[in-house]
Structure 1
Amino acid sequence: MKYVVVSGGVISGIGKGVIASSVGLLFKSHGYRVTSIKIDPYMNIDAGTMSPLEHGEVFVLKDGGEADLDLGNYERYLNVTLTRDHNLTTGKIYKHVIEKERRGDYLGKTVQIVPHLTNAIQDWLETVSKIPVDGSDESPEICIIELGGTVGDIESMPFVEALRQFQFRVGADNFALVHVSLVPVIHGELKTKPTQAAIRELRSLGLTPDIIACRCTEKLSRAIMEKISMFCHVGPDQVLGVHDVSSTYHVPVMLEELKLMSYFSQRLHLDKVTPERQAIGERLFTRWKALTMVHDQSSQSVTIALVGKYVDLQDSYISVVKALEHSALRCGRKLVIRWVDSEILGDQDGNNAGTTKAAFHEAWANLCTSDGILVPGGFGTRGIHGMILAAQWARENKVPYLGICLGFQIAVIEYARNVLNNKNATSEEFLPEVKDEDKYILYMPEVDKSQMGGTMRLGEREARFTGAPSKLQKLYNSDVVLERHRHRYEVNPDKISGLEEAGLKFVSKDDSGERMEVFEVDNLPYYVGCQYHPEYLSRVLDPSKPILGLVAAASGKLDEITEAQDELEAEF
């Protein structure tokens, strides 16, 4: 097993996740089996209880693990299926060590950070890196480990020390370190001092970078790279300038052009793969490069209004955004996302602090001039009225609409209020003491109400199409699909027949036939809601079908894309 660690310095949010995913994709394009592990130094057990505005999206894995959004990057780039154990947090590892101490596994010894915690981290990395992730029974050959946070932060110190020891445990030929640093532009001049300081600190902690990936707004000159090489004690070919590009999908191509794999091939003494695996990897990368060309050459655009409550931090919806990008690429369109704050959209009277008439009218202008509308998942009552208005606008004006999870429930409530004329229709989430006749969305009976973390309906579940006419079933080209869920509420079974008689057809249910998974409205071009989160399974070369349907309908290409599905299935 070869390990490539990606760390970061100077500032957070520097793009380690994209670089880690891109490095993994390069290994995969050369025929190697690749896996990824994300280390998050926060004390939470997982990301499940963290606000999207605090940390960005919670990514849900097949096994129901609620993880950091970077695991979504890994799955999308590498087309692998990771587990909850591929996201290692401080909370998880301390809990693991304390449980061992309580059982007496340490035989009465004083349990310390070194060696007990650092050994536990190393054992975790070795064990998890061997888990098959690509659908086969064979273990991966390359493991990409991303160290979250910034080197030097106090919370990441045990992990840095564990990695320092780990390089000796696995051997120098099996361990390489990519350090991502920032080269800022100050008054028009590129400054290398932050990178020099970051590398100095890294070395003081016992880690020596093999590659310094310099994040910068523009291409680095040869002189700058030689300066970094000299002061950071690495060869000039070990300094890579990773400048800003029009799309993150260009990053793997950029790293390939910078001959990163040639360096790793020598540094890690990589074994040759079979010609068959090499050919599959080459086809993959050829398709990837073709995709980046489509992105650059697309002349027509498609505009999607994303109506949500966390739009101040767009990472809150990163999987939805990526799925929209994948779908736009499939449709040959440039994607334009209009971020619409649902709280402002529903605040005509300016009751909320900060809402002005100008902001209200701008929100509605963005909604009304978009080609399609998407209402994503979320929790709580804030901004709900604006989401209901967005669903109503889409339905009444025959604008393509997709509701995901909360957006699915919102559309059901809107339909009950404005088509069935039950103006009090609502969800138990928004009004716990609601009367039975107005209760269209229920708390699922099996869900634990006593705790927040890990208690929802989580992970991969079956959704079965009923056989009724369905645009989405044609896109899936299957009667049974596996999608990932993350919710506590469901459609009230007692309200199903009334909604269906009024035209809201539930075309897909769970494997018991009792829980509603997908609705459609027949006489509209594309008015769809799904209780599951299709964005989690969207891949760069194989877009999510519900989101592809939205973008295709918004582009006027739904029939064309549906008919071409068999031919366009990705070899990924």
Structure 2
Amino acid sequence: MKYVLVSGGVISGVGKGIIASSTGLLLKTQGLKVSSIKVDPYLNVDAGTMNPREHGEVFVLSDGGEVDLDLGNYERYLNITLTRDNNITTGKIYQHVIEQERKGTYLGKTVQVVPHITDAIQDWIERVARIPVDDTNEEPDVCIIELGGTVGDIESMPFIEAMTQLRRRAGKNNFLQIHVSYVPVINGEQKTKPTQQAIKAVRSAGLVPDLIACRCEIALDQGALEKIAHFCQVDNDQVIMVRDMPSIYQVPMLLEQQGLITSLKKILALDTLTISDTLTRKGKQTWAQWQALTGTQTRNFHDTVEIALVGKYTELHDSYMSVIKALEHSTMRCNRLLKIRWIDSEHLEAKTQISDPSRFHSAWHALCGANGVLVPGGFGTRGTEGMVLAAKYARENKVPYLGICLGMQIAVIEYARHICGITDASSEEFNAQAANKLIMFMPEVDKETMGATMRLGLRPTLFQEGSEWSRLRALYHGKTEILERHRHRYEVNPSFIEQLEQGGLSFVGKDDAGVRMEVVEIKDHPWFVGVQFHPEYLSRVLDPSRPFLGFVAASAGLLSTITQQYQDGGAESLTAGVNGIALNGSGLF
């Protein structure tokens, strides 16, 4: 097993996740099987209970694991399926070690950070790195490890010590470290001193970076590059410039142009590995598809699709990371330039009209000028009346609408209030004493414990008999059953289904028991779809999520064209990019 460690210095948020994902993608283009692990040095056991306004979105895996958003980048770039064990936290490690201590595993020894915590980290990594993550069902060749935070943080110290020991344990040519640093520009001059200090700090901690990735707004000039190489005591070709790109999907191409593949092959002795000819061909095909699709970002698109994202956490865009990526995948597929109109749902409400009229009118102006309205998931009561108003506007004005999880429940409440005459329709989440709870707490869910108690992970949705007209179903090539990832505590109250359907709201998709409502759609509308699952978690660069693709295509006036091409392409169109199938020549790319 070979390991690539991606660490960071100077400041956090410099793009370690994208660099780690891009490195993994380049390795896959060479026919290698790649896995990935994210290390988060916080004490939470997982990311499930974290506030998205503070930490960003919670990404949900097929096994129900609630993990850091960077694992979403790994799955999207590498086209792999990870497990909850691919996200290591301090909380998980300490919980594991304490459980072992209570069982007497350590035979009465004094349990310490070194060696017990550091050994547990290494054992965890070695075990998880060997778990198959793709359709080959074979052990990966390389595992990418991203160390969260910055080197020097006190909470990262046990992990840094563990990585130092792992390099020795892995052996020569089996461990490579990429240290990501930031090169600021002050008064027009690129400053290298922060990078010099960062490398000094990481070396003093026991790690020896093989490559230095310099994040910068503009291209690193030759003088700055040579200065970094000189003072950090590395060769020039060990310094990689990672400048801001028009699209993050172009970062792999930027790294390839600077010879990263050559460096990886040399340091990790990749030529000694036995690589399948089939995987090599597949890697080359995937790389050709990636370049063909993401290269469109350099074009000057004249056609823009503007999406109003009406949410509760809009001040931190990372709260909707996977939603943004799914929109990007779909707009690239439609040859359109994406523009998101960020709207705080509270600003659409009447109370804002009284307290802050300018925000109220600005929010409504943004909503009314958009080509489509998207209401994503969320929790709590705040801003939900604004979401209801957004759904009402989209329904009445025939503007394409996509509701995800809470957004679907909002659509049901809005329809019940204004079409079915249930004027006090509400959710148990918003008002536990409401007379007409159209949305109810799922009976099997634990109301007392917050962590990992929701309906989580990959679950089936069955399209119902008589739903052949469904615009969404057509994009799944007429499949009767689909698998999507879930994350929710509340569901549509089954006792109201008959009344809602008589009023014209169609529940075209249900769970395998036929009890839970999974997909709602309005027939007499260009695109009005709500899904209880989170389709953004399975969207890929080369294989966009169907609900998002249909929504974006409808917003761009291309739904019939896109639907026809998916139906003509059949299963091959649906798996293009997943199984290495060449582009279908449809003209979409």
Structure 1 length as normaliser, TM-score? Answer: 0.98
1:407 is displaced (CA, Å) by 0.2
CA distance in 2, matches of 1:9, 1:333: 36
The match for 2:585 is: none
Q: Does 1:571 align with 2:568?
A: no
Counting matched residue pairs gives 567
The match for 2:303 is: 300
The match for 1:277 is: 279
CA distance in 2, matches of 1:28, 1:347: 52
Aligned pair partner of 1:325 in 328, 339, 342: 328
The match for 1:482 is: 483
Deviation track 1:478-523 (CA, whole Å, cap 9, x = no partner) reads 1100000000000010100111111100000000001000011000
CA distance in 2, matches of 1:58, 1:227: 40
**SS of 1:5 mapped into structure 2:** strand
The match for 1:95 is: 95
Q: Is the 8 A contact 1:216 1:241 kept in 2?
A: yes
1:47 is displaced (CA, Å) by 0.2
- Structure 2 counterparts to residues 57-96 of structure 1, below 5 A: 57-96=57-96
Q: Does 1:463 align with 2:461?
A: yes
**C-alpha root-mean-square deviation of aligned residues, in Å?**
0.9
CA distance in 1, matches of 2:295, 2:198: 35
- Structure 2 counterparts to residues 274-423 of structure 1, below 5 A: 274-297=276-299, 298-350=301-353, 356-423=356-423
1:349 is displaced (CA, Å) by 4.5
Q: Does 1:454 align with 2:455?
A: no
**SS of 2:173 mapped into structure 1:** helix
Q: What is the one-letter code of the residue matched to 1:501?
A: Q
Q: Does 1:503 align with 2:504?
A: yes
1:254 is displaced (CA, Å) by 0.3
CA distance in 2, matches of 1:396, 1:62: 36
CA distance in 2, matches of 1:253, 1:296: 13
Q: Is the 8 A contact 1:326 1:540 kept in 2?
A: yes
- Structure 2 counterparts to residues 23-34 of structure 1, below 5 A: 23-34=23-34
Deviation track 1:451-478 (CA, whole Å, cap 9, x = no partner) reads 0000000000000000312111110111
Q: Does 1:440 align with 2:438?
A: yes
Q: Is the 8 A contact 1:404 1:532 kept in 2?
A: yes
Q: What is the one-letter code of the residue matched to 1:338?
A: R
Q: Is the 8 A contact 1:348 1:357 kept in 2?
A: no
1:276 is displaced (CA, Å) by 2.6
**SS of 1:172 mapped into structure 2:** coil
Deviation track 1:28-82 (CA, whole Å, cap 9, x = no partner) reads 1111000100000000000000000110000000000000000000000001000
Q: What is the one-letter code of the residue matched to 1:302?
A: V
Which range moves more in the overlay, 291-300 or 546-555? 291-300
Q: Is the 8 A contact 1:484 1:532 kept in 2?
A: yes
Q: What is the one-letter code of the residue matched to 2:275?
A: V
- What are structure 1's unaligned runs of at least 5 residues? none
The match for 1:49 is: 49
Q: What is the one-letter code of the residue matched to 1:434?
A: A
Q: What is the one-letter code of the residue matched to 1:515?
A: R
CA distance in 2, matches of 1:242, 1:126: 30
Q: Does 1:135 align with 2:132?
A: no
**SS of 2:432 mapped into structure 1:** coil
1:565 is displaced (CA, Å) by 1.3
Q: Is the 8 A contact 2:250 2:295 kept in 1?
A: no
1:295 is displaced (CA, Å) by 2.1
The match for 1:165 is: 165
**SS of 2:459 mapped into structure 1:** strand
1:439 is displaced (CA, Å) by 1.2
Q: Does 1:204 align with 2:204?
A: yes
The match for 2:121 is: 121
CA distance in 2, matches of 1:531, 1:335: 24
Q: What is the one-letter code of the residue matched to 1:500?
A: E
Q: Does 1:545 align with 2:546?
A: yes
CA distance in 2, matches of 1:172, 1:57: 38
**SS of 1:379 mapped into structure 2:** coil
- Structure 2 counterparts to residues 149-228 of structure 1, below 5 A: 149-228=149-228
Q: Is the 8 A contact 2:352 2:360 kept in 1?
A: no
**SS of 2:140 mapped into structure 1:** coil
Structure 2 length as normaliser, TM-score? Answer: 0.95
1:296 is displaced (CA, Å) by 2.2
**SS of 1:99 mapped into structure 2:** helix
1:272 is displaced (CA, Å) by 5.1
CA distance in 2, matches of 1:182, 1:331: 35
- What are structure 2's unaligned runs of at least 5 residues? 579-589
Q: Is the 8 A contact 2:407 2:530 kept in 1?
A: yes
Q: What is the one-letter code of the residue matched to 1:532?
A: F
